[in-house]
């Protein structure tokens, strides 16, 4: 079996036990002779390491008062660790280094609100989706009337901002080739460039955009009737560990069935793409 194949067995998982570890090993042998799965290592060490950026409200962000990590993906990580009977450790990372951190074994899973894309699939594994996102432009209210169609965005007269390492970067390059671009590196965010007037629009997601327009009332989402690039929202893990990926797929299946993600989506008022 190709080691990139996403296994979607529907076996329900509770707190991880030696029996579950053995079941996972039987279902999907690890890549490479004698390879050790992260599932075994997590159980042995009692720690689940989660890579997160802390800059994506409402997925992963710092509470402005306590500076503690909060968000949909932080709650998901805490629930996964609790179900496994281990502690959680959040490892700071950035969007451009999400995959290299996995490859370097700096963390076991990415919990920051990642969406699936072909370039990422070449180097990382994705779980089955827990939701679906889509893209649309974010503009300042005083200039929003200029963008009546996607052609107005895909224009040499428009400067589009995006953060390096995100799926928005890939979208702008492939779908908006006529527009001027401004590449933004973390920890600076593209919407900050929009507020400062250095770009005309940024490409945001339904998930993040719905939060940004509340936090920054001078911003608005445009073309809401015609969002593009409907993509699955998934957790990301190492491409060469099918035992761990199989466990995660089963966990997502179980928690979707239990209503956990529906409750979490309501808690953070997520706007998801309905297909």
C-beta separation of 56 from 208 below 8 A: yes
Domain boundaries, the chain: 18-130+234-267, 133-230
Q: How many Cα atoms sit within 13 Å of 207 on the Cβ side?
A: 26
Residue range 18-130+234-267 forms a domain whose CATH class is alpha beta
Task: Tell me if 18-130+234-267 shares its fold with 133-230.
Answer: yes
Over residues 189-230, the pLDDT tens digits come to 999 999 999 999 999 999 989 889 999 999 999 999 999 999
User: Which residue is listed with tokens 């919990």?
Assistant: 111
C-beta separation of 213 from 271 below 8 A: no
String of b and e for 47-69 (b: at least 16 CB within 10 Å)?
Answer: ebbbbbbbbbbbbbbeeeeeeeb
Return the structure tokens found at 241: 């560990």
Tally Cβ neighbours within 10 Å of residue 135: 23
pLDDT band at 241 (very low <50, low <70, confident <90, very high): very high
CA 113 to chain centre: 2
Instruction: Look at the domain 133-230 and name its fold.
Output: D-Maltodextrin-Binding Protein; domain 2 (3.40.190)
Over residues 163-187, the pLDDT tens digits come to 998 889 989 999 999 999 999 998 8
Predicted confidence at residue 172, as pLDDT, reads: 95
Using CA atoms, how far residue 78 sits from 4, 81, 196, 233, in Å, is 26, 5, 36, 18
C-beta separation of 185 from 174 below 8 A: no
Over residues 84-128, the pLDDT tens digits come to 999 999 999 999 999 999 999 999 999 999 999 999 999 999 999
The average pLDDT across 34-63 equals 93
Contact residues for 166 (Cβ-Cβ < 8 A; gap 6+): 95
Distance between CA 86 and CA 96 in Å, rounded? 28
Does 1 score more than 90 pLDDT? Answer: no
């Amino acid at each position: 079996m190709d080691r990139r194949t996403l296994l979607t067995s529907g076996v329900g998982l509770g707190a991880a036990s030696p029996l579950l570890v053995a079941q996972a090993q039987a279902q999907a042998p690890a890549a490479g002779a004698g390879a050790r799965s992260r599932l075994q290592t997590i159980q042995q060490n009692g720690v689940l390491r989660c890579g997160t950026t802390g800059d994506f409200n409402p997925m992963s962000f710092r509470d402005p008062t306590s500076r503690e990590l909060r968000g949909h993906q932080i709650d998901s990580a805490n629930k996964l660790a609790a179900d496994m009977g281990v502690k959680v450790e959040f490892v700071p990372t950035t969007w451009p280094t999400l995959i290299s951190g996995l490859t370097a074994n700096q963390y076991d899973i990415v919990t920051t609100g990642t969406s699936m894309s072909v370039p990422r699939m070449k180097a990382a594994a994705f779980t089955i989706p827990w939701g679906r996102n889509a893209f649309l432009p974010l503009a300042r209210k005083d200039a929003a009337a200029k963008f009546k169609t996607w052609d107005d965005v895909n224009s040499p007269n428009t400067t589009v901002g995006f953060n390096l390492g995100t799926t928005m970067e890939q979208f702008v390059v492939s779908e908006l080739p006529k527009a001027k671009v401004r590449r933004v590196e973390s920890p600076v965010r593209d919407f900050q460039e929009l507020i400062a007037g250095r770009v005309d629009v940024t490409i945001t997601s339904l998930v993040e955009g719905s939060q940004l327009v509340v936090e920054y009332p001078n911003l608005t989402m445009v073309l809401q009737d015609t969002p593009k690039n409907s993509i699955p929202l998934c957790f990301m893990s190492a491409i060469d560990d099918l035992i761990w990926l199989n466990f995660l797929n089963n966990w997502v299946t179980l928690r979707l069935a239990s209503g956990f993600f529906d409750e979490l989506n309501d808690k953070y008022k997520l706007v998801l793409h309905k297909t």
